[in-house]
Structure formats: C-alpha cells, structure tokens
Amino acid sequence: MFDPNKNKTETSRAGFSERGKPTFDAEKELEKVLKGDLEKTLNTEDFEESQEALQNTRSLLEFRKKARASSSSFLYKLSEGLTKISSSDLSREKKDLLKRELIEKLTPEIQKSSPRVSDFYKSLFSLVEGGELEAQWEMTDKKVKNFLEDHGLDVLSSKDVDWQKKHELIEKRLDGYLRGAKALDDIDRKKKKIEKQKDENINPPEADDESKPGMDEMERNEGDEMPPAIWSIHPAYGGYYKQQSYDVWDGERNVWKSSGYEFENVDLGTKNIPAEEEGRIMIGANIFTNKWARVPIPYTHKIVAKNIAKLLIKKDQNGDYLVFLQDDENKIKSINLVLQKIKSPEEAKFVSSPKTEAPKMNFQLTEETLKVVEEIRKNKKGKLAQAYALASHTIRHLNYSNDSSFNSIYNSHENGYVGAIDIHKQADCDVGNTYFAGLCSLLDIPVRHCVGHMVKGKDKEGDSRITSGTGHAWSEVYDETKRVWVRIDATPSGDPQLDEEKEKNDSIPVSGDYGEQEAVGHTDEQLEAIEKELEKLNTELSYTLEERELAKGAGIDLKQAREIMKEIKEAENLRLKDGSRIVDVLSNLFNMIVEERKIHQVEYRGPLREREGGDEIEDLVEHSIGIRSKDFDPISRVKPYDIQKKEKVMSGFDLYLVGDKSGSMSQTVSGEAKWKIQRLAQFLLFSSLNRFDQRCKGAGIEKKNSLGIRTQAISFRDSNALDEDKPLSEEFGPKEKLELWRSMGDQGSGNGDVAALSRLYGQIKAELGIKDDDSADVIKKKIIGDSRLRIVIACSDGYPDNAAGVRTLAKKLSELGVVVVGIGMTETAKAVKTIFSTEYSKGDYVESIDELPMVIAHYVITEAIKLFPQKARESSKEYQSRLEKLSSKFSERFSRKTAQK
C-alpha cells in the first residue's frame, strides 16, 4: 500500500530540497520560458532587437498556422515547447524538469488521438523524458527508432533550427505515417462492431443511485447511421452533458454511490421562451410518467423554462437535475426544457458542492506507480495541481480498451479494482477515471465520479442527439483555493467519444463545451496582439528619438513627425559659403556670450592655517601672538579664490519674425517653394535660439539676472489676415514646431506688411507698459529702464501696399528701442531694401531665396553681440579675434553681391 512517509531519505533531485519542498517551481518557470521575453521586448529602445522579435513572432505564428492545417498539430506544440526550453539559459537538470512539466501539460491533448497515433506520441514522451521506448505496436517502435536515427527529435527541439524546417520535417516525415496509423485504427474500430440490439433505448432511463464502471464493446448501427435520440438538442450544441455525480466508492461491490442527496425544487413558469435566442437551447425527450429521470445538462447552461406546468424539476447538492411527471397512467410523454447559457464564466466552469472529502478506496499499486505518486506529492503545490499531474499520468499510463473480458479480472483481483487496472493498463472512460480517483485518494484529494454524455455533431434536422452511444464518464476535483469543483477528464487516449479526427471526418462540428485545453505559453490571440504591438514598436523605433518625442509631444503620427524633423534637420544643415553650418556658427556665438557674461573676481576666505591652504597673513597681531606662544602655524592667514558674478547687462533677447504667406510665395525657385525656404529659416533661428536659452538656464546664472531668449512668428496672408505662427515665448518644443510647420504652409493672396508691423508695435508697447497718455519723459524712462534686446525681421517677396506706412511703423518701433530689419526675397522684392534703409531701420534683399536663412542669421548675430558684457567687448583681444572670425563667415555673401553690382 502507499506509504506517505516512504522514501523520505532519498537523495534530493534537482530543484527539490531533501525534505521534498520545491526550491525550483517548474510550472512557473515553464510558463516563463514558453512566453519568453516578448513582453520585455515591447519596452526596448533598440530597433534591431524589436525587429528580430517581430520576425521571430511572425515566424512562430506562421508555424502555428501550419499546425492548425495539419493532422499532426500536436507535434507542432511539442516542438515549440521543446525548442523554447532548449533556448533557455537554464542548467541541463532544470531543462529536464521543464520537459517533464511540458509533457504533463500537453498530455491531455493526446486524449483526442486514436490508439496508434496516441502510441506514437506517448513513445516520444518517454524518450523526451529520458526513459525507454515502450511502444504498444510494432509499427510505432519501428517508426520511432527510425525517427531517432535520423535525428528527427533533435531537429524538433533544437534552438538552431528555424520553424520552417521543423514544419517541413513534420510534414514530410510524420504526417503521412500518422494519417496511416489513424486509418488503421478506423479499420479496427469497424471490425469490432457488433449487430445493433433490436430493442434500442429511446427513452431516458429511470434515475439510478449507483454507477458500476466496466468495459463494453461499442454498439454501432449498420452503415454508421446515427442512433435514435434519447434527448434531442435544438439548436445543435455539443460537449460535456453531466447527468449525475458520485462521491463514495463501494469496494465490496466495485460501484460508485452517493453519500446522500439533498434536493431543492426548481420552480419555473411555463411561459414561452424561444430557444432560438442567443445563448438558449432546448432539450427534449419522451419520458416515462411517474418515474424520476435524470436530465443531462451542459456545464455552460441551466434550466429556465418547461413546457408542462405540472412537470416537477429538482436539483441535488451537486447541481444535477431530475424531472418527474405525474399522471394517472404510466405512459410516455414528451417534455421540453429551455436552457439558458450562464453569463458568468466561473459559473460555467465550476459546480459547487459542500462535500469535499476524498473517497476511501483500498488497493495495491505497483512500485513504479507508487514512485510516480510520491513524486507528484512532493513536487506539486496544492491539491488541484497534483490532480492534474495524476490525470496526465493516467492518460499516458493506461491504454484505451472496451474489452469486456477485463471486467471479471478487475472485479476479482487481489490488488483491488484500482490495483488490477494499474497492472493490466486497459480501461475505457469510467474505468480510467475510477483509476484516477484511486490515485487522488492516496493524496487525500477530494474527487467525485461523473457520468453523462459527450455530444458531437448534428443530425439531418440540425439537432444534436444524446443516444445510447454517447455515454461518457469523467471526474471532478475540488479546488481548495476557489472552493469549487473542477472538471478533469482522465480518460485514456483512443476513446471514440473523444476522437477529434473522427468528429472532423464523420460529422459536422458544432459549438459546445468540449473542455478546451488550457493554453501553454501564449495563446494565438495573445501572440497576434504582441505581433501588432511589435509592429507598432518597430515602426516607432525606425524613427529617430527626436521624431518619436515630437510625435508624442505634439500628438501627431510618426509619419508627420518625420516630415517636420526632416525639415528641421534640413534647416540645421544649411551652410555658409565656407561650408560651415549656420547653426554651428550661431552656437559658437551664443556659447561665447554665456561664458563672457561670467566675470571672474577674486575673493578671500579665512582665517586659516598655512597647512590648511592659507596664503597671505591677514592679522599680524594674531600671527605674532601665535608665534610667541610657540604656535608656528597660527590661524592668521586667508586664501584667495574665484567666484563668478554676472554683470548687469541686457537681460533678454527677443526675435520677432514677420513672414509672408501671400500667393506669390507658392512660386518655386530651383524646385523649392519660396514659403518652404522661409519656413526653413524660421526653424533654423528658432531652434538655435531655443538651445541658446537652454544653455543660459544651465549656466548657473542667478535667476534674477537671467538671460531669457524669446521668439515669435507672425505672418500675413493679406492686409486683413494675420496669423500668429508661434506665440512669443522661450519655448520651441513639439507643439510649437507642429503649429509653425502647419501654419507657414497656409497661403493667402495679398500683402500685409503694415498690419503685421502695427500689431508688433502695439504688442511691444504694451510689454514696456507705455500708455497713450504717458508723457515723453515717462516713455523715455520706461524705454531706458527696459533691458531686453528686441529685433524685428520682416520678410516679403513683393512691394508693400503702403511703403510710407512701413517706414512710419519702422520709426515707431525704433523709438521703442527695437532693431528693425526688412528683407526682400528675390528680385521681385528688391524695393524692400530701399524702403527699410532709413536712419531707423535696415533694409536688405536676397537675390536667391536660398540665401534667406543666412541673411536672417547674419542680422541675429550682429544684434546678439550686444548681449556680451561691455567690458568684454572693449578689453578682450581674444573676444575681438573670435568675433571677427565669426563675422567674417558672412562676408563672402556680401562681397559677392557687391562685386556683382
């Protein structure tokens, strides 16, 4: 008999302590290995890594797609699992533990295979686990040995073989063999058929409180016709239909019984509830009156209506239904019950019951099986996990059989009913699940035996049928965590009722509760979702960090962000005639300004001893007293050190750009629209000045004396239409870049120079706090008191509508201390230079629109020089040399123009 204290002194295995407590959780580790690092990859910033992950995910999805189309789909799952285990960084011992865990998880899937196909799978399992080849059929033994000699198993599990090659191996080497094995099983099944009994049962039997497991040769109708229905189901719905549960094993008679029943009435009306509505089915039968009959109900449904008012319906403590129809005579009457799909997934999956004791069963197992049970007891956490492991062992250990000759052997064996099964290893559904219940009893796992039907397909009328040939048995195990009963089917593989291929070939598949296998690793849906996320990430990472930050900050798509960043990069790559980038020249100037605004001034710290760094003697008296008292290093010295102070000069720099969006700006010069070159110039200046501002902020200058750099862009589409393309601020982030990019591409039809300058005049006047009724002295004081340097650069590609108005506003702006520059763009605006060339403003024009960014930058540099401290400008030879070098970079453009004149 099983001894729970046995083998406690055995040497500990890899992953387990000597006391049997797991130090390596194989179940969790397997899930981790099978899922891999795909979720982590979704957070990567590396394009190559995301691209590789995307390619691998797509290859795996294609592999799974081919698996679904293959009759050997199970081999694909096995190959995927073994490959991922092989790819892990775990030790060999831990990998072996994961292989065993994988096989345990996949074993329920071979339940649906025919005997010879299942024999091939089980043989592979043994070899993967490092065991001996024990094939039931000679053809299996030969095929597996041949497969091993050709390194087929190595290919299926190798991390160095791609999914396509694994698919080709399965398709070319195994598909044909497994189809042939399935065909032979079908032939055997037909040979075993016996003639149909004349009195076919077509009515639900009377309720019975006992169930005796035993094997019976399957009865079939000639020509494989579907037997008459005991219960008809409309519309068709298949899967597990539970009829009754048993929790007590009678070892004297080898029958399942119930420890007792508690019933409750199910009060339902007779209202007409259409079964055609979503989630509803109707189940009907011709029952005997005056007799209780059990009603097979799918786990996913409950009874909600009946067609006869006096039909009594009861439900026992296990959730199983009975019906009773009283009548004056014993006869047969037709009943119909409407079933409604249960909304809660938990309700559908589990059945509640208060009784949670393991059945008492007496038997003797083989030493080999005892070791398996002991290992499961040690390695698995929780009763439910142990039960799943025992079910996996049952499915692999037993062979499906309906040979009734074993009934007498099992009923009279000295090792008990379960012990006899363990030796002979032949079982059908109820015998196999009784064996499973016996194993559960050894580990004190609450288990109960269930009988009912496995319903598949539909008849010519489109209904599913419960017949004399659909009977099936399974188990329910109590989940101590959720306090519910869980269905576990430990039927050996080869049962025709579970044969998935038979269903595909012999009938039309219908929806139902067939006991979906729990996903091992990612489901197809999860993998497809990861693929989409990786596609998105891969697209994002194909963009630069700046493009991604712009898209995120501005709330735009990456494609548009790339267009904007491309233009900004193009602007920043504009060069002077000597090849220097304008942005670099600006950067050098701005760096000089920041550094020169820091004035080095000597300060002293003390008193100190000489050994502490003291230099000059500050206090001669203290020094003399110290020497007399024999302190040859008195505290009487000071140490000079440098501190940085900011000279009070200009406190800020404001650049106002006036843009032209009249219709003529859409004209192209050298293949480029004039408005686009104008926008390039704006991007160039605003980006450079924004970096200048950031440099100032990070230079350690006190906030009260900080140097703030602000920029603004306005533009005219005609004399009455002004746009603020960028508000006056120190910001030039994603939103500002997007707005400028969009706005400057919006063209109008006329000039609006006067309106634009008038708006800036009013704005700056308000900034200075100048009111209309201020006296001249007050205005002068306010202007002198302001320490910001302001420059307005107005661009136009045509003659202003009002030249006099332009000059008047240039003068007004100049009187506010603003530097005004007017630039004409191309020959058509050559007059702009003349209009703005006054004692109050400066005028210029560019022959080629390509020169616009350079010219604007030149005037910005010319005015930005005023941001240098006065003393630095006057006394520093180094400053003069560097500044002359920077300025000279723009001279070629002007000397070339002069020469042309």
Q: What is the mean pLDDT of residues 894-899?
A: 37
pLDDT tens digits, one per residue of 254-295: 999 998 888 999 888 665 655 556 779 999 999 999 999 999
- Reduce the DSSP state of residue 616 to 3 states and report it: strand
Out of 71-85, 183-197, 560-574, pick the least confident.
183-197
- Check pLDDT > 50 for residue 483: yes
Q: Which residues make Cβ contacts (< 8 Å) with residue 753, sequence separation at least 6?
A: 658, 716, 794, 796, 800, 801, 802, 805, 806
Most trustworthy range by pLDDT among 193-207, 382-396, 599-613? 382-396
Judged against a pLDDT cut of 60, whether residue 900 lies above it is answered with no
Q: What three-state secondary structure class fits 714? A: strand
The pLDDT, as a whole number, for residue 518 is: 67
H or E stretch covering 711: strand 708-718
pLDDT band at 335 (very low <50, low <70, confident <90, very high): very high
Question: Is residue 864 scored above 60 in pLDDT?
Answer: yes
pLDDT at residue 892 is higher than 70: no
**Residue that wins the pLDDT comparison between 686 and 542:** 686
Q: Is the dihedral of CA 791, 857, 868, 647 positive or negative?
A: positive
Highest mean pLDDT among 515-524, 676-685, 887-896: 676-685
Average pLDDT (459-481) is 91
pLDDT of residue 723: 92
Domain boundaries, the chain: 26-35+70-191, 210-510, 524-569, 602-641, 652-867, 871-901
- pLDDT confidence tier of residue 202, bands split at 50, 70 and 90: confident
Binned at pLDDT 50, 70 and 90, residue 633 comes out as: low
Q: Are strands 512-513 and 598-608 parallel, antiparallel or unpaired?
A: unpaired
- pLDDT > 80? residue 891: no
CA dist 105 → 27, 37, 77, 153 (Å): 9, 21, 11, 19
**Range 604-633 average pLDDT:** 59
Q: Are 489 and 476 in contact (CB under 8 A)?
A: no
- The yes-or-no verdict on residue 348 having pLDDT over 80 is no
Is pLDDT above 80 for 700? no
pLDDT digits (tens, 9 = 90+) for 796-837: 988 888 999 999 999 999 999 999 999 999 888 999 999 999
The reported pLDDT for the residue numbered 713 is: 95
Does 607 sit behind a cis peptide bond, omega within 30 degrees of 0 on the bond before it?
yes
Q: Assess whether pLDDT exceeds 50 at residue 774.
A: yes
Mean pLDDT of 181-209: 74
For residue 624, the model assigns a pLDDT of 62
CA nearest to 243, candidates 514, 477, 452? 452
Residue 744 clears pLDDT 80, i.e. is over it: no
Strand partners, 284: 232, 336
Q: Report the amino acid identity of residue 616.
A: E
- pLDDT above 50 (res 438): yes
Confidence at residue 503, expressed as pLDDT on a 0 to 100 scale: 47
pTM (2 d.p.): 0.63
Q: Which residue has the higher pLDDT, 225 or 159?
A: 159
* Range of lowest pLDDT (458-467, 499-508, 720-729, 864-873): 499-508
Q: Which fold has domain 652-867?
A: Rossmann fold (3.40.50)
Average pLDDT over residues 351-361: 75
Per-residue confidence band for 717, with pLDDT thresholds at 50, 70 and 90: confident
pLDDT category, 625, cuts 50, 70, 90? Answer: low
Give the rounded percent of residues in the chain with a pLDDT score beyond 70: 81
- Which helix (H) or strand (E) covers residue 884, if one does? helix 877-888
Task: Answer with the residue of higher pLDDT: 94 or 510.
Answer: 94
pLDDT digits (tens, 9 = 90+) for 644-672: 444 445 678 899 999 998 888 888 877 77
3-state secondary structure 107-118: HHHHHHCCHHHH
**Contact (CB, 8 A) for 323 and 271:** no
- For the segment 161-167, the average pLDDT, to the nearest whole number, is 94
Distance CA 466, CA 37 (A): 47
Q: Which two tokens stand for residue 611?
A: 């050994």
Report d(CA 178, CA 124) in Å as an integer.
13
Residue type, 122: K
Which is more confident, 508 or 234?
234
- In this model, does residue 507 exceed pLDDT 60? no
Distances (CA, A) of 877 to 789, 872, 883: 25, 9, 10
Measured CA to CA, the distance from residue 155 to residue 672 in angstroms comes to: 59
- Per the CB < 8 A criterion, the answer to whether 277 and 455 are in contact is no
When pLDDT is cut at 50, 70 and 90, the band that residue 399 belongs to is very high
pLDDT at 604: 47
Report pLDDT for 260. Answer: 86
> Is residue 206 pLDDT above 80, yes or no?
yes
The pLDDT assigned to 572 comes to 80
Calculate the average pLDDT of the chain.
83
CA 635 to each of CA 368, 623, 639: distance values in angstroms, whole numbers, following the listed order: 91, 7, 12
Q: pLDDT band at residue 302, thresholds of 50, 70 and 90?
A: very high
Of 481, 492, 479, 469, nearest to 448 (Cα)? 479
Q: Which residues contact 739 (CB under 8 A, 6 or more apart)?
A: 725, 726
Joined tokens for residue 94: 């831990």
- pLDDT value of residue 629: 62
Determine the average pLDDT of the residues in 364-385.
94
Q: Which pLDDT belongs to residue 50?
A: 87
Q: Both tokens of residue 521? A: 């690793």
- Is residue 707 predicted with pLDDT exceeding 70? yes
Cross-strand partners of 306: 337
Q: Each residue of 561-596: pLDDT tens digit?
A: 888 888 888 888 888 877 888 888 888 877 777 776
DSSP, collapsed to helix, strand or coil, labels residue 467 as coil
**pLDDT reading at 496 higher than 70:** yes
